[in-house]
Amino acid sequence: MSETETREAIETTNPATGRSLKHYEYMTEEEVKEAISKCHQAFKTWRDVSPEDRAEVIKTIGKELIKAKDELSQLMTDEMGKTLVQSRQEVDLCAAICEYTAEIGPNELKAEEREMVNGNRGRVSYAPIGVVYGIQPWNYPGYQVVRYSIACMMTGNAVLLKHGSNVTGSAKLLERIYQKTDIPDGLFTVLVINHDQSDEVIKHKRVRAVTFTGGPDIGRHIGQLATAELKKTVLELGSNDAYMVFEDADIDEAVEACVKGRIYNNGETCIAAKRFIATEKVYDEFREKFVKTMSEVKMGDPNDESTELGPLAREDLRDNLHEQVMKSVENGAKIACGGEIPDGEGFFYPATVLENVQPGQPAYDDELFGPVASLIKAKDNEDAMRIANDSRYGLGGGIFSKNEEGAIKMAEKYFDTGMVFINTFGIADPAMPFGGVKNSGYGREHGGFGLKEFVNIKSIMIKQ
């Protein structure tokens, strides 16, 4: 490419106004190769740093995130439309991940002594593998990145990031924040690249593993591509999580949590509450209160402290969501509230409830990535569980019941999903494993489990 030619570029847009924010040029093939090489060289330095010293650096990253909280929060809100209040909460969560990982990391990564069956001495160690490539979505511009990168860096790996194009500014800011600490230059590297370039990164000999969060179709493509190269993957592929309101539930508590679980992060959350299955005994009361509360959700400027629901991140996402609503209605669903694209600038969509939701409708079968709730009636608790499991997804879900022990038993024995929330809605916690089953993917992050996804679990056997 000559100096006079213009590169292809990403243009970020403020979804609250529809106006352009900034342009970012794609990297050239040579720049990508140089970045990967530099990241690998940084790994060779970082792997020799003790876990204890790595932990101290990671604590510093958490502190730098808090120092940059105002700037990062505002940029995340400007780029993807989450409320500013929730952007600040996201930065706090990122800092908590750093603190938690630094606290548990050295102990989790300690070599383990074992007595072998043949009487010899055994030792299991956890060695870093090299460069881990993360392909991350836009809905949590900070958290999605911190979630995988801090775990990988704690284990001694290096990190490449391809972020959602519409939050490229957030990715670059995170890179600058990380670079303010004592990590080797290039250890955390952002790649501003297109999908074809990304496929080549997966194939690169210096890339040892791939982690992806996004939709199942792209997840299959990435998983197949990485598997063909014999590289391990962790895939988190979304869901249509079911929240069950059992016969003995506290309805007011259930309504409050379910509404929050549906509209949090503008409803654009893989682990959001999406299908609401209430038993016949409590259905009418739950439906009346749930629809009323959803209809009163305040939508507007995400910078306003009182706003509960901001815009969707992109216009095409809003169009897709509305099409799913309309197709569900065409197939028998009814709109209890919302369901209309408002006039004015920005990509707003109101809190919406669909009832008479049945199999064959997008509202039942698919993931609705926005503030649209699917309301379903079940005969009893067991029927509610049957409906909840009647999904190709299995990331999270919830149970509302005053019988806590009974709910725990149902969750452990029968709920075919990776995470279950009892009498609350799903928010990630660094101490608990995060991930799903079925079309929601495989592998785990958080809770110490993520630390061992991308390590060489090495057996060392010594003759006694």
- In one letter, which amino acid is 63? K
- Residue 5's pLDDT band, with cuts at 50, 70 and 90, is low
**Taking the mean position of all CA atoms in its chain, how far away is CA 122?**
38
Facing residues of 372 across strands? 352
Span 335-353, average pLDDT: 98
DSSP 226-279: HHHTT-EEEEE-----EEEE-TT--HHHHHHHHHHHHHGGGG--TTS--EEEEE
Q: State the DSSP code for 27.
A: P
pLDDT at residue 245 in the model: 98
**What's the token pair of residue 181?**
């600490």
pLDDT of 62 reads 98
Catalytic residue among 64, 270, 308, 453: 270
Dihedral sign computed on CA atoms, order 254, 257, 260, 264? negative
Q: What are phi and psi of 207, to 5 degrees?
A: -90, 120
- Listed in sequence order, the residues at least 6 apart from 405 whose beta carbon sits closer than 8 Å to its beta carbon are none
Q: What is the pLDDT, as a whole number, of residue 427?
A: 82
Write down the catalytic residue from 79, 236, 367, 453: 236
CB 144 within 8 A of CB 119: no
Average pLDDT for the chain:
97
Q: Which domains does the chain have, with CATH numbers?
A: 9-238+441-462 (3.40.605.10), 242-428 (3.40.309.10)
Torsion over CA: 164, 168, 173, 179 (sign): positive
Q: Which of 293, 301, 150, 160 is nearest to 231 (CA)?
A: 160
Q: Count how many residues are written for the chain.
A: 464
pLDDT band at 282, cuts 50/70/90?
very high
Residue 342 clears pLDDT 90, i.e. is over it: yes
Q: Among residues 295, 281, 258, which one has the least CA distance to residue 397?
A: 258
Distance of CA 368 to the CA centre of its chain: 15
* Helix segments in 366-452, DSSP class H: 381-389, 404-413
Round to whole Å and give the CA distance between 119 and 127. Answer: 25
CA angle, residues 227, 229, 232, in degrees to nearest 5: 50
Model pLDDT, residue 1: 44
CA angle (247 as vertex; 243, 249 as ends), nearest 5: 65
Question: Does this model's pTM top 0.95?
Answer: yes
Report pLDDT for 6: 63
Q: Is the pLDDT of residue 26 over 90?
A: yes
- Cα-trace Rg, the chain: 23
Res 3: pLDDT:
44
pLDDT one-digit tens code per residue, 82-140 = 999 999 999 999 999 999 999 999 999 999 999 999 999 999 999 999 999 999 999 99
The string of pLDDT tens digits covering residues 379-402 is: 999 999 999 999 999 999 999 999
142: pLDDT strictly greater than 90? yes
Mean of pLDDT values over 46-66: 98
Check if 64 is active-site: no
Lowest mean pLDDT among 5-19, 205-219, 450-464: 5-19
Q: Over range 287-308, report the average pLDDT.
A: 98
Among this protein's residues, is 236 annotated catalytic?
yes
Residue 2 has pLDDT above 60, yes or no: no
DSSP-derived pairing of the beta strands 455-462 and 121-128? antiparallel
